[in-house]
Chain A
């Protein structure tokens, strides 16, 4: 393969090939709002890569934000690249054409920087496949100074170890500022090391021959939030657990602290408008970052702290700009918990008053299960068809919801279901997880009971039209959450639970979907693994693993063979209960939430002790201590965390997570000290029940 093939040659290949593949517009570029800059006149060139197909990658907000920011800089350009679907991959390989960017059709190897988004584990093998399609060495250690800098960002980087061999550097946390620091550091390193030894093939001078990538790594490691795995050594105990992760170079900090922005960045508004249908064919505005609810299974709720709200007016201005610049019919207002956005009612009313007649539909995901949410959805739906309403109680009994710190009551859930069906919706989707710690078959059975109860309510209002869709996924305890020590439920138990639910969730009006326990295992070892998994990932890819999130393509056998060949055990990574004092493979990554806090909150979970939303009561998770400087520089109301300084009005602060109440079935001896079961933020929308 000529990995520096010229754009004109690539275009010729496309003309010969595209009509043979599915959805060829995935591979052409040229969409509205795509930015095509002058390649030769722009010194710093970044490829933004999403390791899944166009249809999914185009919906990734993180990359859309970086694309916009980078292209606004006159000296930089950013272009997109996605994983080709298998048919187009075969065409690329047989014609020996390298993977190329959609905008200018330059081969990936001709970029300065390739930044991969790593939002979830099932995409890891696709990263290797894309590097291979670009004709680049997979491992950072095998790349020379002439190769592009290969980066990763996104929540997958919070346990960087399984993919650590393949990236030069991995960005921990929010990328909007650090991306420039990395591109500039690379450029500076290049400038200092470039010689005059002729042309590299992409219009660049060759490096003087002795330059090694090591000096680039040293430079990158000094940027806050940038983890350079190759500057750390990992040692192991005889039992296979990690003994120590230690920097081997002065440039590398012992612990890499995530990056955050003190306030929400300006919203992106000039979204690329795809020609073909995509998964979320719409624009999106983050209305809030972070979440204060403290659900113990939720990695996003831990790693995206602190909560920062975007002012209502800023959201409204962004909606106007998006409509004008894209023509999209749909805008998603994104957050981890929309109901907790303090201006949510005002925002919805203002948008519908202004744009209600413009055939705009507005998505507001992650609403709480309460009647207020039904009001909001009703406003948003207006005259449009009301299809599905989504609840995510995640567990079906009050007890288990206390364990996971999502203390909705069954009673409230049913009351809300009644409101939903009575106001004309026909379908309620209910999401649960199985495999929570302390879960029994009774809790699993309760999923079916609850679904039946919801359906009965629907039948009462609308008869046979009522539908309940039950989605059940399996808990994969994620790094940096209070459940990070918990094992994944064993496969036989999961299969028995799924079979039980299958048997009980049959019949008119019920739909049941679940995750294959084999998929869960792949997700689990990739999210909880250590550095040795890089060898497994590479071997699995060689054996054909790719698109691990796609049921028809992913290859479980390839993974099992790769583990066997490396002498490692996937079950050991996924299903071993970890000791509290064990050094976790991701412990040198600091997400801002301290191990002490996570430990105490894990202990609370085993007592069924619920802690309040931390906007009501700060429990010193660690984020504020780490970012107090940033906190001081923003207005008091800008964060969910307490304002700092004397005499500020703020919520109570405790140095440990103190329970709001304790579940009497879990800890009968403790429960009386704490009082009755109450919702979180009891004072907010409704009076506390007795």
Chain B
């Protein structure tokens, strides 16, 4: 390739669907920075990444859903587009040594090269929230029951200067107490809607449960897609 040419259009030969865990220091890293962290790890691993064309080529990584700052994930999902066909197991073995503390590959599978964006297929997600609280299990249970028995719960979403209200209740498909996680910590499990136009946030739910200022550890356990 001559020096003054545009980069050659990347040929996408394969789509790999990567399930990974997102823990440790990554908990404090925003989604855009997580994307860059993955891209750099894949560059170090020298996998044949496909890039977008144009002036600022971007690696073709497609994430199902960015994790909110402060949360961890047990089985996050992204698609990686490659220019050469690579065995999924080999891909995992090649990439793993280059992952920073906090990222780990759980599974890699081949996916059809032409497919709808993961983001659009996502329907709901399972979450675990451990909260540090003096509340007894029964008291917490009662709060959860009150929440789930409500027909609607008005919540406010603030974005910069604007704020709008929405019904949080319809975004919570399921919620239950799962007992003590460790002394002083109670565990909640919930399934929230996660569609582009309707996404429930755990911190909003915790706020409406009226637990006061609590320290929490929130983890997304599973992403659930449309068939």
Q: How far is the CA of A357 from the CA of B33 in the complex (A)?
A: 23
Does A359 lie within 8 Å of B51, measured CB to CB? yes
Q: How far is the CA of A379 from the CA of B3 in the complex (A)?
A: 7
The 0/1 profile, CB within 8 Å of A marked 1, for residues 199-220 of chain B is 0000000000000000100000
Does A276 lie within 8 Å of B30, measured CB to CB? yes
Q: Which residues of B contact A19 (CB under 8 A)?
A: 28, 69-70
Does B29 lie within 8 Å of A275, measured CB to CB? yes
Of B40-48, B86-94, B107-115, B118-126, the stretch lying at the interface with chain A is: B40-48
Does A24 lie within 8 Å of B40, measured CB to CB? no
Q: Which residues of A contact B41 (CB under 8 A)?
A: 32, 327
Question: When the two chains form the complex, which single residue of A18, A277, A353 contacts B3, counting CB atoms closer than 8 Å?
Answer: A353
Instruction: Say yes or no: is B39 at the interface (Cβ < 8 Å to chain A).
Output: yes
Q: Which residues of B contact A31 (CB under 8 A)?
A: 25, 100
Does B7 lie within 8 Å of A383, measured CB to CB? yes
Q: Which residues of chain B from 67 to 113 have any CB-CB distance to chain A below 8 Å in the complex?
A: 69-70, 98, 100-102
Instruction: Say yes or no: is A579 at the interface (Cβ < 8 Å to chain B).
Output: no
Of A239-247, A318-326, A673-681, the stretch lying at the interface with chain B is: A318-326
Q: How far is the CA of A329 from the CA of B36 in the complex (A)?
A: 10
- Evaluate whether A275 and B4 lie within 8 angstroms (CB atoms) in the complex, with A19-B70, A28-B28, A326-B44 already known: no
Q: How far is the CA of A329 from the CA of B57 in the complex (A)?
A: 11
- Evaluate whether A32 and B3 lie within 8 angstroms (CB atoms) in the complex, with A324-B44, A326-B44, A327-B39 already known: no
The 0/1 profile, CB within 8 Å of B marked 1, for residues 370-390 of chain A is 000000001100111100000
Instruction: Say yes or no: is B151 at the interface (Cβ < 8 Å to chain A).
Output: no
Does B43 lie within 8 Å of A273, measured CB to CB? no
Distance to closest chain A CB from B195 (angstroms): 26
Q: How far is the CA of A610 from the CA of B124 in the complex (A)?
A: 72
Q: How far is the CA of A541 from the CA of B67 in the complex (A)?
A: 40
Q: How far is the CA of A28 from the CA of B1 in the complex (A)?
A: 43
By beta carbon, the residue of chain B nearest A32 is B100
- Evaluate whether A24 and B56 lie within 8 angstroms (CB atoms) in the complex, with A327-B40, A382-B7 already known: no
Q: Which residues of chain B from 10 to 48 have any CB-CB distance to chain A below 8 Å in the complex?
A: 24-26, 28-30, 33-34, 36-37, 39-44, 46
Does B7 lie within 8 Å of A357, measured CB to CB? yes
Instruction: Say yes or no: is A514 at the interface (Cβ < 8 Å to chain B).
Output: no
Does B44 lie within 8 Å of A277, measured CB to CB? no
Does B215 lie within 8 Å of A15, measured CB to CB? yes
Interface size counted on chain A using CB atoms at 8 A: 36
Instruction: Say yes or no: is A352 at the interface (Cβ < 8 Å to chain B).
Output: yes
Q: Which residues of B contact A16 (CB under 8 A)?
A: 215
Question: When the two chains form the complex, which single residue of A326, A349, A356, A378 contacts B40, counting CB atoms closer than 8 Å?
Answer: A326
Does A277 lie within 8 Å of B33, measured CB to CB? yes
Question: When the two chains form the complex, which single residue of A27, A359, A378 contacts B7, counting CB atoms closer than 8 Å?
Answer: A359
By beta carbon, the residue of chain B nearest A15 is B215
Instruction: Say yes or no: is B5 at the interface (Cβ < 8 Å to chain A).
Output: yes
Instruction: Say yes or no: is B226 at the interface (Cβ < 8 Å to chain A).
Output: no
Q: How far is the CA of A377 from the CA of B56 in the complex (A)?
A: 16
Question: When the two chains form the complex, which single residue of A24, A28, A273, A353 contacts B69, counting CB atoms closer than 8 Å?
Answer: A24
Q: Which residues of chain A from 344 to 366 have any CB-CB distance to chain B below 8 Å in the complex?
A: 349, 352-353, 356-359
Does B44 lie within 8 Å of A24, measured CB to CB? no
Instruction: Say yes or no: is B154 at the interface (Cβ < 8 Å to chain A).
Output: no
Q: Which residues of A contact B69 (CB under 8 A)?
A: 19, 24
By beta carbon, the residue of chain A nearest B57 is A359
Does B29 lie within 8 Å of A25, measured CB to CB? yes
Instruction: Say yes or no: is B6 at the interface (Cβ < 8 Å to chain A).
Output: yes
- Evaluate whether A384 and B55 lie within 8 angstroms (CB atoms) in the complex, with A31-B25, A352-B3, A356-B1 already known: yes
Instruction: Say yes or no: is A29 at the interface (Cβ < 8 Å to chain B).
Output: yes
By beta carbon, the residue of chain B nearest A16 is B215
Q: Which residues of chain A from 15 to 43 have any CB-CB distance to chain B below 8 Å in the complex?
A: 15-16, 18-19, 24-25, 27-32
Question: When the two chains form the complex, which single residue of B5, B39, B101, B215 contacts A30, counting CB atoms closer than 8 Å?
Answer: B101
Instruction: Say yes or no: is A597 at the interface (Cβ < 8 Å to chain B).
Output: no
Q: How far is the CA of A327 from the CA of B41 in the complex (A)?
A: 6
Instruction: Say yes or no: is A328 at the interface (Cβ < 8 Å to chain B).
Output: yes
Question: When the two chains form the complex, which single residue of A15, A273, A324, A384 contacts B100, counting CB atoms closer than 8 Å?
Answer: A273
Distance to closest chain B CB from A385 (angstroms): 4
By beta carbon, the residue of chain B nearest A349 is B3
Distance to closest chain A CB from B114 (angstroms): 24
- Evaluate whether A327 and B43 lie within 8 angstroms (CB atoms) in the complex, with A19-B70, A273-B100 already known: yes
Q: How far is the CA of A28 from the CA of B6 in the complex (A)?
A: 40
Q: How far is the CA of A572 from the CA of B7 in the complex (A)?
A: 58
Does A383 lie within 8 Å of B55, measured CB to CB? yes
Q: How far is the CA of A382 from the CA of B56 in the complex (A)?
A: 11
- Evaluate whether A275 and B26 lie within 8 angstroms (CB atoms) in the complex, with A378-B4, A383-B5, A384-B55 already known: yes
Q: How far is the CA of A112 from the CA of B30 in the complex (A)?
A: 35
- Evaluate whether A30 and B102 lie within 8 angstroms (CB atoms) in the complex, with A24-B28, A25-B33, A327-B40 already known: yes
Q: Which residues of A contact B102 (CB under 8 A)?
A: 30
Question: When the two chains form the complex, which single residue of A29, A275, A353 contacts B37, counting CB atoms closer than 8 Å?
Answer: A275
Q: How far is the CA of A275 from the CA of B29 in the complex (A)?
A: 7
Distance to closest chain A CB from B219 (angstroms): 14
Does B39 lie within 8 Å of A275, measured CB to CB? no
Does B56 lie within 8 Å of A384, measured CB to CB? yes
Instruction: Say yes or no: is B8 at the interface (Cβ < 8 Å to chain A).
Output: yes
Q: Which residues of A contact B98 (CB under 8 A)?
A: 327
Distance to closest chain A CB from B180 (angstroms): 18
- Evaluate whether A30 and B55 lie within 8 angstroms (CB atoms) in the complex, with A15-B215, A379-B3, A383-B7 already known: no
Does A327 lie within 8 Å of B42, measured CB to CB? yes
By beta carbon, the residue of chain B nearest A277 is B33
Q: Which residues of B contact A324 (CB under 8 A)?
A: 44, 46
Q: How far is the CA of A169 from the CA of B90 in the complex (A)?
A: 53
Distance to closest chain B CB from A441 (angstroms): 42
Does A323 lie within 8 Å of B43, measured CB to CB? yes
- Among B5, B7, B34, the one with the most A-chain Cβ atoms within 10 Å of its Cβ is B7
By beta carbon, the residue of chain B nearest A325 is B44
Q: How far is the CA of A32 from the CA of B102 in the complex (A)?
A: 10
Does B44 lie within 8 Å of A382, measured CB to CB? no
By beta carbon, the residue of chain B nearest A31 is B100
Distance to closest chain A CB from B151 (angstroms): 31
Q: How far is the CA of A18 from the CA of B25 in the complex (A)?
A: 11
Distance to closest chain A CB from B29 (angstroms): 4
By beta carbon, the residue of chain A nearest B30 is A276
Q: Which residues of B contact A326 (CB under 8 A)?
A: 40, 44
- Evaluate whether A30 and B33 lie within 8 angstroms (CB atoms) in the complex, with A326-B40, A327-B40 already known: no
Q: How far is the CA of A325 from the CA of B59 in the complex (A)?
A: 18
Closest 4 CB pairs of A and B: A327-B40, A30-B25, A385-B55, A327-B43
30 sampled A-B residue pairs with Cβ under 8 A: A19-B28, A25-B29, A25-B33, A28-B25, A28-B28, A29-B25, A32-B37, A32-B40, A32-B41, A273-B100, A275-B25, A275-B26, A275-B28, A275-B100, A276-B33, A277-B33, A327-B41, A327-B42, A327-B43, A327-B44, A328-B40, A352-B3, A353-B3, A356-B1, A357-B7, A382-B4, A382-B5, A383-B5, A383-B6, A385-B55
